[in-house]
Amino acid sequence: MKIKEIRIVVCNPGRNFVTVKVITDAGIYGLGDATVNGREMAVVAYLEEHVVPCLIGRDPQNIEDIWQYLYKGAYWRRGPITMAAIAGIDMALWDIKGKIAGLPVYQLLGGKSRKSVGLYAHAGGLTIEDTLSKAKGVLDQGFKAVRLQSAVPGLETTYGVVGDKKDYYELQGNRPLPPEEQWSTQKYLQMVEELFFEARKQLGTNVSLLHDVHSRLTPIESAKLGKMLEPYNLMFLEDSSIAENQQNYQVIRQHTTTPLAIGETYNSIWDCKELIQNQLIDYIRAAATHAGGITAMRRIADFAAIYNVRTAPHGAPDLSPICFAAHIHLDTWAPNFGIQEFVGLGNEQIQSVFDQDIKVTNGVAFVSDKPGLGVDFDEEKAKAYPYKRSYLPVSRLEDGTVWNW
């Protein structure tokens, strides 16, 4: 069997997605997600100009060899653009292999370690009461775990709180340039303890609570936050501090027992190797689209398992249904799976372009048993939603210093 053609399709059914379609000479095709939010066209160029010509004529069944060829063969290894490009190809090759074998991808990984995949949903409000009322709505749908984010009094906007907008894309509207948002750790820390105090009082102790700090704190501020939240027994505190310097988490770890999660921005196992092997984190949140595909995620999961670190794959709105499907296959297989982030199966435009087969009920997801990833992509429908440049916000402290968004 040979790769005959590779198409890269960018569409915007409410937000931009980069979809890779690998077509074989046997007529079987596979799909992958290569979306890097705010830098989509860089991945398209990397794929079309530098990757696709090298793959035409290769055997799509040699997934590992193609992964190594694209990773080592580039000489310039790693980075979000390279690894998303590799990810899009890799997911498509796993999809093809499943279709050849007549098996869903989770069977190719090793079969089921669980009947269903536990999910956590989001609740973000303009006030603590608003956040908790949204959380109650999520719990009423049967979710057992919810991520709480609340607006910070005194700040115009806060991550994870989109008010009456549906998501960041809508927040940005047609801005030609990145929106800028103000951050104040001091104002945030004043709010966050009350949020979890009220949450435990109103939601009880049987629900798993999570929180995403989105890399806004310094290590010692993260340590302070972790200690402050210990009485509220969070499932995990996510991205409390940026970890380009993985030793940052030694500072946090020595001060708090609040479980720590990180990884959605990571694009290789090297980004998290020390965090995992020194057990500085409890959950690794790498995403198939950003970390190099299913091949890479399997490696990260197995490495993490040695150190009692569980997986909690990223599941944001900017990962396409193809990536979400890949995650549900990985989550179904991984012996050290923790929990899967879930932000819904997409609006009706997204569902018209991406035909996926995952059932979500009572806060858990059931993996597709269709051969491959179990997702299809309608290129004709995608044409109705052309690419529209958008950016993630840029964060600044109140004195104007650029900060971590």
Asked whether 99 and 305 are in contact (CB, 8 A), the reply is no
- Residue 122 annotated among the catalytic residues of the structure: no
- Cβ 297 vs Cβ 91: under 8 Å: no
Q: Can you read off the two tokens belonging to residue 169?
A: 């894309």
- Which residues within the stretch 238-267 sit at the binding site for Mg ion (CB under 5 A)? 264
Q: Which does 318 bind (CB under 5 to 8 A by kind): ligand CS2, Mg ion, none?
A: ligand CS2
What crossing angle do the helices spanning 185-203 and 128-140 adopt, rounded to 10°?
A: 40
Least distance from ligand CS2 to the Cβ atom of residue 212, Å: 5
Quote the tokens at residue 159. 């991550």
Using rule CB under 5 A, residue 212 touches Mg ion: yes
Taking residues 262 to 281 in sequence order and writing x for each that binds Mg ion by CB under 5 A, - otherwise, the string is --x-----------------
Q: How many residues bind Mg ion (CB under 5 A)?
A: 2
Compare residues 96 and 322 and give the one whose CB is closer to ligand CS2: 322
23: left (phi over 0), alpha (psi -120 to 50) or beta: beta
- C-alpha closest to that of 294 among 41, 107, 54, 39: 107
392 binds, among Mg ion, ligand CS2, none (CB under 5 to 8 A by kind): ligand CS2
Considering CB distances under 5 to 8 angstroms, the limit depending on partner class, which of Mg ion, ligand CS2, none binds residue 101? none
Which among 130, 110, 258 is positioned nearest to 191, based on CA atoms? 130
Catalytic residue among 122, 211, 214, 314: 214
CA distances from 287 to 88, 293, 319 (A): 12, 8, 9
271 binds, among Mg ion, ligand CS2, none (CB under 5 to 8 A by kind): none
- With respect to ligand CS2, which residue has the nearer C-beta, 63 or 281? 281
Q: Does 318 bind Mg ion (CB under 5 A)?
A: no
**Shortest-Cβ-distance residue relative to ligand CS2:** 316
Nearer to ligand CS2, 67 or 120 (CB): 120
Q: Which tokens hold the place of 3?
A: 């790769």
Contacts of 224 (CB under 8 A, 6+ apart): 189, 255
In this structure, the chain runs to a length of 405
The residue number whose beta carbon is nearest to Mg ion equals 212
Kindly tell me which of 315 and 371 has the beta carbon lying closer to ligand CS2.
315
With CB under 5 A as the contact rule, which of the stretches 112-120, 122-130, 175-183, 210-218 interacts with Mg ion? 210-218
Residue 331 interacts with Mg ion (CB under 5 A)?
no
Strand (E) positions, 84-144?
117-125
Residue with smaller CB distance to ligand CS2, 21 or 290: 290
C-alpha neighbours within 13 Å on the C-beta side of residue 369: 4
Cross-strand bridge partners of residue 238: 212, 261
DSSP helix/strand/coil, 78? coil
Give the other-Cβ count within 10 Å of 62's Cβ: 13
**214 catalytic, yes or no?**
yes
Instruction: For the CB of residue 392, give the shortest distance to ligand CS2 in the complex, in Å.
Output: 5
Catalytic one of 159, 168, 188, 266: 159
Which one of the spans 131-139, 195-203, 211-219, 229-237 is the region binding Mg ion (CB under 5 A)?
211-219
Residues that bind ligand CS2 (CB under 6 A): 37, 212, 214, 264, 314, 316, 318, 341, 392
Q: Cβ closer to Mg ion: 9 or 344?
A: 344
* CA dist 58 → 69, 94, 232, 236 (Å): 11, 15, 53, 43
- Catalytic (active-site) positions: 159, 214
The residues binding Mg ion (CB under 5 A) are: 212, 264
